[in-house]
Amino acid sequence: MSGYQGKKNIPRITSDRLLIKGAKIVNDDQSFLADIYMEDGVIKQIGDNLIVPGGVKIIEAHGRMVMPGGIDVHTRFQMPDRGMVAADDFYQGTRAALAGGTTMIIDHVVPEPGVSLVAAFKQWREWADNKSCCDYSLHVDITEWNKGTQEEMETLVKDHGVNSFLVYLAYKDVFQLSDCQIYEVFSVIRDLGAIAQVHAENGDIIAEEQRRILELGITGPEGHVLSRPEEVEAEAVNRSVTIANQTNCPLYITKVMSKSAADVIALARKRGAVVYGEPISASLGTDGTHYWSKNWAKAAAFVTSPPLSPDPTTPDYLNSLLSCGDLQVTGSAHCTFQTSQRAVGKDNFTLIPEGTNGTEERMSLIWDKCVVTGKMDENQFVSVTSTNAAKVFNLFPRKGRIAVGSDADLVLWDPDITKIISAKSHNLAVEYNIFEGTEVRGGPLVVISQGKIVLEEGSLHTTEGCGRYISRKPFPDHVYKRIKARSRLTELRGVPRGQYDGPVCEVTVTPKVISTVSSVKTSPAKQQQQQQFTPQPVRNLHQSGFSLSGAQIDDNVPRRTTQRIVAPPGGKANITSLG
Amino acid sequence: MAERRGNWERAEDDLPVYLARPGTADQVPRQKHGGLFCSVEGAFESKTIDFDALSVGQRGSRTPRTAKRETGQEARSPASDCRSFPGVESPLTSRRGGKNSPQVEIKSSGGKEVLQNLGDEKSDRLLIKGGRIVNDDQSFHADIYMEDGLIKQIGDNLIVPGGVKTIEANGKMVIPGGIDIHTHFQMPYRGTTTVDDFNQGSKAALAGGTTMIVDHVIPEPGTSLMEAYDQWRQWADEKTCCDYSLHVDITHWNDSVKQEVDNLIKEKGVNSFHVYMAYKDYYQMSNSELYEVFTFLAERGGIAQVHAENGEIIAEEQARMLQMGITGPEGHVLSRPEELEAEAVFRAITIASQTNCPLYVTRVMSKSAADIISQARKKGNVVFGEPITASLGTDGTHYWSKNWAKAASFVTSPPLSPDPTTPDYLNTLLSSGDLSVTGSAHCTFSVAQKAIGKDDFTQIPEGVNGVEERMALIWDKAVTTGKMDENMFVAVTSTNAAKILNLYPRKGRIAVGSDADLVIWDTDSIRTITAKTHNSAAEYNVFEGMELRGAPLVVICQGKIVLEDGNLHATSGVGRFIPCSPFPDFAYKRVKARKQLAVLRAVPRGMYDGPVSEFSMSRGGTPSASARTSPTKQPVRNLHQSGFSLAGNPAPCGELSFLLEQPPLHRPVLSFCWSALFTLCIQRSMWFIS
């Protein structure tokens, strides 16, 4: 089992019927011993002494762990970038995913600004349908914002099973949206019942810093991390949390790369915000010291945005937050480029295509860094690699759980396998692996995707194009239960007051909203002023100590004789004397 | 009343010194010149005490203190100003009406000295005897001698010339006059101006113990900063009663503004500039502009001040509120939740930290914003937070008042937090040093002016009062509660502000050579704030009904007594403009040190000579020799102008083909050496990470 050199060609099992005997089933909530019987890619029975038809292929688990196949929530296979295409296409990428124990990926559709979202979505579908070896789904990135975009988002949610959209706070003048636009996007996303994802970095500051650093003569990959300090990431996370809170929209931060960003998320969650953080394999497994490598090609291989933090204690910290639940899901942000592609930016770090590998290493890395070290147990491991992702994106319990009726995407996990990650042995098309030389403990022994064995004894038996598109419904319970409850509560009401009829200063022409006060008056606030963020201000008022002073001295006597005033209409009770 | 006056006179004449202060067992103050009630010739000649007028207030004051509260005792009445006494029972205080037991006595020289200084009634020479000098670092007993508006001597047994007016402080605290670092007097607003002009406003400031104000110059977007500055100078020079200085708000940004900022710093004595993150499409600046402003200010030694609120989201929220039919003042606070303030503070800090520019956050109104500032300070950022009188003294529950005029009078931005625990929290952070200075953001409008927005809260002119109440309020909320001591009080009301403005030690300290701006502080007087008695022209006072302990007894501004016995003797137009020089040590010492450390260095690498992928388009195959020979020195300029171009922006790529034909000369340098040497350029990282 050491390495993948052994090319023993065992006859491929094509039967759809599969029985795993003597397995320790590990779900996110509990582990138990049972047999699993699968047919037609679906788990049909779980239990002891199952009655199964003949001709079933049997796998003896011998008490090893069987867990739901991993879900890699963030990949960018075959991503076009300035005429180049990411080195790992959907075939190569999903193969690597399966080799690492991941049985489903969610890829990002990146429409060029100006291109229709639906058109881009269809393009990605076509690529993936032809090549993907495992089930997949798609996030759609919003790279520009106009009225048409909103309609397209609606179409995507209703007809195409997309329930997550990514917006960029970075990449100024390309993908970046303004705060206003983000507010509107989030409002639309909430109404559609989708998840708002953000690439959180402050693009404005980055643009300025990049210019400064290039002026300093720093053109190598170290300039990438110097121009994108982690503060800038934390700032953007904070801002998106704020906007999401305002719009009451669930938020999902992709690529949590630094301690400060993770801290902001953890804090926001403590304050009750509905926000999810996604650290990626790279941020959990390595750090940004390599940007200073003398080997340009190696340094460039680490270039991704937000960059890996140069603080070497970051991976450990992020693993801790992942274990304690402050971060919930893990992706890989797998987006690989050949060294020759990276070399486009050899004289200017801003041109280096961004992305790191990680889809294959994700599960093993987390096992090694979290479970082996005792930060989390096997059940939590299943949550962060699979179940939480399925819940957030409304795939649960079809994915992310071993239960009758769920998809037969399983991994037989061996906690004792040790292997050394190396570009020589990985299943990717690139020359560099950012985890090169890392020894990880724990790995998949057998991987079952769609009820078929795809990894067995170190050999992959994947079928190009067998991956199905999994459509996702809006309003995932895991996310929207809270949002719905809050939107009922956060109804705001005006204070019913009499019409102000005191003097009004004359001003130079101002745009005024024509009085809507009458409508306020007719809707006497039925009270229960429940603003989640204000401690019942109206009620407070009645108990307010403010009235200590008795009536204010206004008495409607304007003191300033120099001001022109409008005389109050007579006879009417003046509202200024109510308080 | 007549009897009382009789008492007063009798006391002057007859009362022996040792009977003058019955009931004071503790802290016997130093007694000089025969004690408190010795007959002093001409003691009242240069003053305008009108006993008949004062007696109105005194009558009220003779009721016990409890009754005083109920009636909303007038703040300025001498009864409440200068009579309570350490250890004296309040009924006694009330009965005696103050004049019989003054804490502080002011006397002119008599006899021979008068002859020597004939006609020198308005002598600039002033001696405070027996005061306890309170600076931000220590307190000590000493006499202070002032001349020509400067402190000339401090110490015991000073040798002073004749003809000196002497103030017997009797052990009272003498503190540096307050500096209100944030005011908006006489601010134009859509054709009207705020009701407190520089005269009215600075009078109120002096009445509260503040001897210097720093006003904001607000040029309309598109107009010249310099012109606006001159305009403000003109207004202020005509009318202010105390020294002043100016911040200039940058409401738009371009090269000519940059030039003007430069001139203002170099020639006009302005070292602090204010930018807005709110007021979309009006004053608001984008992140890039903020970055540029901050970078520029960091170079020139200015302080970057921000109004921190996310204007874009506010605009969206305001539209939503109005749509929902919420048009009253409560819409103001609902559309500006404190999160938006905290978010903007966070962003401003990030940008300031990137540009290594000292940051000053004006108007810290909420817990969350204050928390962000204190976190940033813990991380080492150079950031100062300024809570204002309103945020330290009251909260935003009043926005829901049924009385529109009252609710509207609280409208300011960022709004007062509806969380009633906010003032206490901010006072605590102020005491712990996480927030550094206090202003008032005094910007008052009459009810009629506020009523511009009676049907639409977004039109309500923004601003609250506070210049007069600031010192007493902080004393009451922070010192009497034991959160801070008197030295810290001086620091947050005066010294820190002077340091930030680079006016220290001229202002903000009692030392030889400093300006004679002093306050004799009475720690025990109690007064109730009300619009009836305040010195501002506004009809509403946001602190209405609040009872505050602690008040100025005597205020000396420019070496002249401007407040005594509750009477203001302010002279319009005597205020001088105090120029502030750039690079205040308080902020820039650290910044300078960091600049030296934060030098970034490129990693010296051999040229990458592997294959280069084709991307978008290739422009010819000419090898660019220059790029090869100096890989790090010469960034190709036009490459980075395009910014980050994922979108397929073509960048010159002359190296395309030569790389493939490059002989492997540099191979050893670049070969894949797995045990690569990691050069950790962590000087910068050390600062900003962790």
HSE-up (13 A, CA, CB side) for residue B650: 8
**Chain A residues with CB-CB distance to B684 below 8 A:** 226
Closest CA to B81 of B89, B73, B70: B73
At a CB cut-off of 8 Å and minimum separation 6, what does B549 contact?
B472, B475, B476, B480, B523, B524, B525, B526
- pLDDT for B633 equals 31
- pLDDT for B619 equals 34
Region B241-253: mean pLDDT is 94
Instruction: For chain A, positions 417-436, list CB contacts with chain B under 8 A.
Output: 436
Predicted ipTM beyond 0.85: no
CB-count exposure of residue A416 (10 Å: 0-12, 13-18, 19+): exposed
Q: Report residue A255 CA to chain centroid gap.
A: 7
Cβ distance of A343 and B608 shorter than 8 Å: yes
Cβ distance of B639 and A351 shorter than 8 Å: yes
* Lowest mean per-residue pLDDT among A92-101, B103-112, B681-690: B681-690
HSE-up (13 A, CA, CB side) for residue B311: 16
Cβ distance of A231 and B447 shorter than 8 Å: no
**Chain A residues with CB-CB distance to B294 below 8 A:** none
Closest CA to B218 of B185, B177, B192, B181: B185
Banded pLDDT at B106 (limits 50, 70, 90): confident
B331 → closest Cβ in A494, A534, A563: A494
**Chain A residues with CB-CB distance to B462 below 8 A:** none
Dist CA A456 CA A241 (whole Å) = 43
Mutate to test the interface with B, among A85, A168, A296, A339 (most CBs of B within 10 A): A296
Cis peptide bond prior to B22, omega within 30° of 0: no
Query: A564 or B94, which is more confident?
Result: A564
* Lowest mean per-residue pLDDT among A243-252, A498-507, B58-67, B192-201: B58-67
Instruction: List pLDDT tens digits, range B494-504.
Output: 999 999 999 98
Q: Report residue B394 CA to chain centroid gap.
A: 18
CB-count exposure of residue A530 (10 Å: 0-12, 13-18, 19+): middle
- The amino acid that residue B686 corresponds to is M
Provide the percentage of residues in chain B whose pLDDT is more than 70. 72
Dist CA B373 CA B368 (whole Å) = 9
Dist CA A194 CA A198 (whole Å) = 13
CA distance B375 to chain A (A): 12
- pLDDT for B87 equals 38
- pLDDT for B259 equals 94
Q: Name the residue with tokens 């004792």.
A: A416
Instruction: List pLDDT tens digits, range A209-254.
Output: 999 999 999 999 999 999 999 999 999 999 999 999 999 999 999 9
| DSSP annotation string for A216-285 | TT--STHHHHHTS-HHHHHHHHHHHHHHHHHHT--EEEEEE-SHHHHHHHHHHHHTT--EEEEEBHHHHH
**Chain A residues with CB-CB distance to B340 below 8 A:** 242, 246
CA distance A163 to chain B (A): 24
* Lowest mean per-residue pLDDT among A548-552, B93-97, B336-340: B93-97
Residue B19 in this model has a pLDDT that exceeds 80: no
Instruction: List pLDDT tens digits, range B157-179.
Output: 888 888 888 999 989 999 999 99
Closest CA to B658 of B618, B617, B631, B687: B618
Number of Cβ within 10 Å of residue B234's Cβ equals 10
Cβ distance of A500 and B454 shorter than 8 Å: yes
DSSP letter for B46, please. T
Residue B602 in this model has a pLDDT that exceeds 60: yes
Residue B682 in this model has a pLDDT that exceeds 60: no
Q: Does B43 touch chain A (CB under 8 A)?
A: no
| DSSP annotation string for A351-368 | GSPP-B--TTTHHHHHII
The angle, 0 to 180 degrees and rounded to 10, between the axes of the packed helices B311-323 and A230-247 is 0
Instruction: List pLDDT tens digits, range B519-575.
Output: 999 998 999 999 999 999 999 999 999 999 999 999 999 999 999 888 899 899 999
Closest CA to B519 of B549, B537, B493: B493
Closest CA to B656 of A73, A53, A344: A344
What is the SS3 assignment for B237?
helix
The helix (run of H) or strand (run of E) holding residue B330 is helix B329-334
Among chain B residues, CA nearest to A515: B455
Question: Which residue intervals of A280-369 are DSSP H helices?
Answer: 281-285, 296-301, 314-324, 339-342, 362-366
Dist CA A565 CA A531 (whole Å) = 37
Q: Does B371 touch chain A (CB under 8 A)?
A: no
Quote the tokens at residue B492.
């947050």
Determine contact, residues A398/A407, Cβ cutoff 8 Å: yes
Q: What are phi and psi of B128, to 5 degrees?
A: -105, 120
Q: What are phi and psi of A31, to 5 degrees?
A: -125, 140
Closest CA to B538 of B411, B372, B373: B411
Determine contact, residues B476/B389, Cβ cutoff 8 Å: no
Quote the tokens at residue B576.
């001088």
Q: What are phi and psi of A236, to 5 degrees?
A: -70, -35
What is the SS3 assignment for A140?
strand
Cβ distance of A171 and B608 shorter than 8 Å: no
- pLDDT for B197 equals 92
Provide the percentage of residues in chain B whose pLDDT is more than 90. 59
Banded pLDDT at A394 (limits 50, 70, 90): very high
Q: Does B114 touch chain A (CB under 8 A)?
A: no
Determine contact, residues A250/A302, Cβ cutoff 8 Å: no
Instruction: List pLDDT tens digits, range A513-538.
Output: 333 333 333 333 333 333 334 334 44
Banded pLDDT at B4 (limits 50, 70, 90): very low
Region B193-217: mean pLDDT is 94
Region A502-521: mean pLDDT is 51
Instruction: List pLDDT tens digits, range B377-431.
Output: 988 899 999 999 999 999 999 999 999 999 999 999 999 999 999 999 999 999 9
* Lowest mean per-residue pLDDT among B27-31, B314-318, B603-607: B27-31
At a CB cut-off of 8 Å and minimum separation 6, what does A444 contact?
A99, A100, A101, A363, A411, A412, A413, A414, A455
Bridge-partner residues for A38, per DSSP? A18, A43
CA distance B544 to chain A (A): 6
Quote the tokens at residue A217.
């003569």
Please give the order of strands across the beta sheet that includes A70-75.
A70-75, A102-109, A135-142, A164-168, A195-199, A251-256, A275-279
- pLDDT for B663 equals 36
As separate numbers, helices (DSSP H) first and strands (DSSP E) second, chain B gives 27, 19
Q: Does B601 touch chain A (CB under 8 A)?
A: yes
Cβ distance of A350 and B639 shorter than 8 Å: yes
Quote the tokens at residue A562.
């120099």
- pLDDT for B315 equals 93
- pLDDT for B615 equals 67
Q: Does B627 touch chain A (CB under 8 A)?
A: yes
- pLDDT for B123 equals 59
Instruction: List pLDDT tens digits, range A416-437.
Output: 999 999 999 999 989 899 999 9
Query: B614 or A497, which is more confident?
Result: A497
Provide the percentage of residues in chain A whose pLDDT is more than 90. 73
- pLDDT for A415 equals 93
The b/e string for B241-267 (b: 16+ C-beta within 10 A; e otherwise) is: bbbbbbbbbbbbbeeebbebbeebbee
* Lowest mean per-residue pLDDT among A35-49, A449-463, B20-34, B457-471: B20-34
CA distance A517 to chain B (A): 7
Q: Does B223 touch chain A (CB under 8 A)?
A: no
Quote the tokens at residue B286.
């984008």
Instruction: For chain A, positions 137-196, list CB contacts with chain B under 8 A.
Output: 170-175, 178-180, 183-184
Per-residue 3-state assignment (H helix, E strand, C coil) for B183-210: ECCCCEECCEECCCCHHHHHHHHHHCCE
Dist CA A351 CA A349 (whole Å) = 5
Dist CA B63 CA B76 (whole Å) = 16
- pLDDT for B110 equals 52
Cβ distance of B646 and A436 shorter than 8 Å: no
- pLDDT for A15 equals 57
Number of Cβ within 10 Å of residue A113's Cβ equals 14
* Lowest mean per-residue pLDDT among A160-174, A237-251, A543-557, B639-653: B639-653
Question: What is the end-to-end Cα distance of chain B in Å, rounded?
Answer: 70
The helix (run of H) or strand (run of E) holding residue B585 is helix B585-597
CB-count exposure of residue A107 (10 Å: 0-12, 13-18, 19+): buried
The CA–CA distances, whole Å, from A122 to A156, A525, B563 equal 10, 49, 79
Per-residue 3-state assignment (H helix, E strand, C coil) for B100-118: CCCCCEEECCCHHHHHHCC
Our CA angle for A469, A474, A479, nearest 5°, is 115
- The amino acid that residue B398 corresponds to is H
Dist CA B365 CA B178 (whole Å) = 21
Instruction: List pLDDT tens digits, range B472-494.
Output: 999 999 999 999 999 999 999 99
- pLDDT for B132 equals 94
**Chain A residues with CB-CB distance to B292 below 8 A:** 208
Region B352-376: mean pLDDT is 94
DSSP letter for B607, please. P
- pLDDT for A284 equals 95
Instruction: List pLDDT tens digits, range A76-94.
Output: 999 998 889 999 999 999 9
Cβ distance of A563 and B545 shorter than 8 Å: no
- pLDDT for A549 equals 45
- pLDDT for B616 equals 59
Quote the tokens at residue A134.
């495992």
B291 → closest Cβ in A208, A222, A347: A208
Determine contact, residues B136/B179, Cβ cutoff 8 Å: no
Residue A5 in this model has a pLDDT that exceeds 90: no
Dist CA B275 CA A507 (whole Å) = 26
Q: Does A490 touch chain B (CB under 8 A)?
A: no
Residue A270 in this model has a pLDDT that exceeds 60: yes
Provide the percentage of residues in chain A whose pLDDT is more than 70. 85
Dist CA A355 CA A363 (whole Å) = 19
DSSP letter for A443, please. E
Dist CA B13 CA A379 (whole Å) = 92
Mutate to test the interface with A, among B400, B416, B612 (most CBs of A within 10 A): B400
- pLDDT for B49 equals 42
- pLDDT for A206 equals 94
